């Protein structure tokens, strides 16, 4: 069977979202073939302030919005609501991640949009969900990391001060769960003909995706494995994915390392002696080939603790094209993360660079709504449409 096209080709998406939780879902929809149009306000997505700027497009914004088209709309301008309702009438999906009352106040809530398009599927991502006691609260990923116990667990596990995680996992978890919800709703619409509103709370998504949650809610923290540890070798730091008790068992039984303790050795001293043996063994490994051979002999999983700037040189990353190159809009290319989907009979992947603010005003309004140049110019004169 020959390769098919993009799985989501033909789907039209309005992406009102900003920063990460919403834009990442939109980026993945674009990589899967949907026509994703970012609706950006005149003051721009805040991520336009972050990252290396190439041809006027910063890196963070580029990574989350690559492949999308962009129209710049002042949603508070007179006539903007009517234009967005016209767009919604043609759309399959709407994504937004404002606080829960914002779209309603703009006259663009689900009830407003579904009134012009009963097949519309709307994804709303917020920190604490809709219609709850904390729905009014602003929430970025670090807030959710704090509220769901992730920061405290990190501090307790490694005996370090409270600090945020080095990635926005609360945002991306919510985004990916939102993506699953959207695609489920698209499938259901095929049989019902009806759209629906999906309410994703970052709190819900983070807790649901946290594989350690059950230890906390069942007060069973001591029943789990000991944390994985990093060991220094002649080839650099290596993380070994094994409870140290199991690591010692494999080292002593498979590699024949003698136990420095005996039956009379006090427990804490026994641990210290065995830990010293592991440390000495690891330090004597002078190359990654020796590390790999030793770990294979013990049947242990391991990983090189790599500087993040070096991930482009990681063998699997290079082999699978995890970092790809797209047009940098000034005569060269720039790196961007590739979507992780690898289909046997379909296409996927980033389809171009991120757009400038308002870059596709004319193109999108003509293609989606059939508006003429004169009509578009009128919208511009009314300050509804704007552009860089």
pLDDT tens digits for 255-275? Answer: 999 999 999 999 999 999 999
Q: Where are the domains of the chain?
A: 12-213+345-386, 225-311
Q: pLDDT value at position 2?
A: 52
- Report whether pLDDT(5) > 60: yes
Residue with tokens 């709309």: 73
Select 12-213+345-386's CATH number: 2.40.10.480, 3.30.390.30, 3.40.50.1100, 3.40.50.10540: 3.40.50.10540
The percentage of the chain sitting over the pLDDT mark of 90, rounded to a whole number, equals 94
CB-based contact 255:277 (threshold 8 Å):
no
Count Cα neighbours of 312 within 13 Å in the Cβ-side half-sphere. Answer: 8
CB-based contact 360:71 (threshold 8 Å):
yes
- Report whether pLDDT(100) > 70: yes
Residue with tokens 């309702």: 85
As a whole number of angstroms, the distance between CA 38 and CA 62 comes to 12
- Report whether pLDDT(361) > 90: yes
Q: pLDDT value at position 150?
A: 95
pLDDT band, very low/low/confident/very high, at 222 (cuts 50, 70, 90)? confident
Token pair for 258:
């003698």
> Per-residue b/e over 369-383, b at no fewer than 16 CB within 10 Å?
eebeeeebeebbeee
Q: What is the mean pLDDT of residues 295-323?
A: 96
The percentage of the chain sitting over the pLDDT mark of 70, rounded to a whole number, equals 99
Q: Enter the pTM of the model.
A: 0.92
Q: What is the mean pLDDT of residues 21-38?
A: 97
Q: What is the mean pLDDT of residues 16-21?
A: 96
Q: What is the mean pLDDT of residues 15-42?
A: 97
pLDDT mean across residues, the chain? 95
- Report whether pLDDT(341) > 60: yes
As a whole number of angstroms, the distance between CA 70 and CA 66 comes to 11
- Report whether pLDDT(116) > 70: yes
Count Cα neighbours of 205 within 13 Å in the Cβ-side half-sphere. Answer: 28
- Report whether pLDDT(98) > 50: yes
pLDDT band, very low/low/confident/very high, at 224 (cuts 50, 70, 90)? confident
Q: pLDDT value at position 3?
A: 59
- Report whether pLDDT(1) > 50: no
Q: What is the mean pLDDT of residues 292-308?
A: 96
SS3 percent helix, strand, coil of the chain, rounded to 5, is: 45, 15, 40
Tell me, rounded to whole angstroms, the distance of Cα 360 from its chain centroid.
25
Q: pLDDT value at position 34?
A: 98
As a whole number of angstroms, the distance between CA 64 and CA 21 comes to 9
- Report whether pLDDT(94) > 80: yes
Q: What is the mean pLDDT of residues 86-95?
A: 98
As a whole number of angstroms, the distance between CA 287 and CA 309 comes to 21
Q: pLDDT value at position 174?
A: 97
Element (H, E) at 336: strand 333-337
């Amino acid at each position: 069977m020959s390769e098919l096209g993009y799985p989501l080709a033909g789907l039209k998406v309005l992406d009102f979202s900003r920063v990460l939780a919403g834009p990442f879902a939109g980026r993945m929809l674009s990589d899967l073939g949907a026509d994703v149009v970012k609706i950006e306000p005149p003051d721009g997505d805040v991520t336009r302030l972050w990252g290396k700027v190439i041809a006027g497009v910063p890196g963070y914004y580029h990574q989350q919005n690559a492949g999308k088209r962009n129209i710049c709309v002042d949603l508070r301008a007179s006539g903007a609501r009517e234009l967005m309702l016209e767009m919604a009438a043609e759309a399959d999906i709407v994504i937004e991640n404002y606080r829960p009352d914002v779209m309603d106040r703009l006259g663009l809530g689900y009830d407003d949009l579904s009134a012009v398009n009963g097949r519309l599927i709307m994804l709303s991502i917020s920190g604490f969900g809709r219609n709850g006691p904390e729905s009014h609260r602003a929430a970025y990923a670090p807030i959710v990391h704090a509220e769901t116990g992730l920061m405290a667990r990190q501090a307790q596990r490694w005996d370090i001060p409270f600090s945020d995680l080095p990635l926005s996992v609360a945002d991306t978890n919510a985004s990916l769960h939102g993506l699953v919800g959207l695609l489920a709703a698209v499938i259901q619409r095929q049989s019902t003909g009806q759209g629906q509103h999906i309410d994703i709370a970052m709190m819900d998504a983070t807790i649901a995706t946290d594989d350690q949650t059950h230890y906390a809610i069942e007060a069973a923290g001591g029943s789990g494995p000991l944390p994985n540890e990093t060991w220094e070798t002649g080839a650099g730091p290596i993380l070994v994915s094994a409870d140290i008790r199991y690591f010692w068992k494999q080292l002593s039984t498979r590699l024949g390392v003698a136990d420095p303790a005996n039956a009379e050795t006090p427990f804490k001293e026994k641990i210290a002696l065995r830990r010293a043996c592991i440390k000495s063994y690891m330090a004597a490994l002078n190359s990654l080939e020796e590390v790999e051979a030793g770990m294979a002999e013990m049947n242990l999983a391991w990983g090189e603790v790599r500087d993040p700037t070096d991930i482009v040189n990681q063998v699997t990353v290079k082999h699978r094209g995890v970092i790809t190159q797209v047009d940098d809009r000034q005569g060269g290319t720039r790196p961007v993360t590739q979507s992780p989907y690898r289909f046997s009979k379909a296409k996927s992947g980033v389809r171009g660079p991120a757009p400038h603010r308002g870059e596709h005003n004319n193109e999108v309004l003509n293609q989606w709504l059939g508006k003429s140049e004169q009509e578009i110019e009128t919208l511009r004169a009314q300050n509804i449409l704007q552009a860089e």
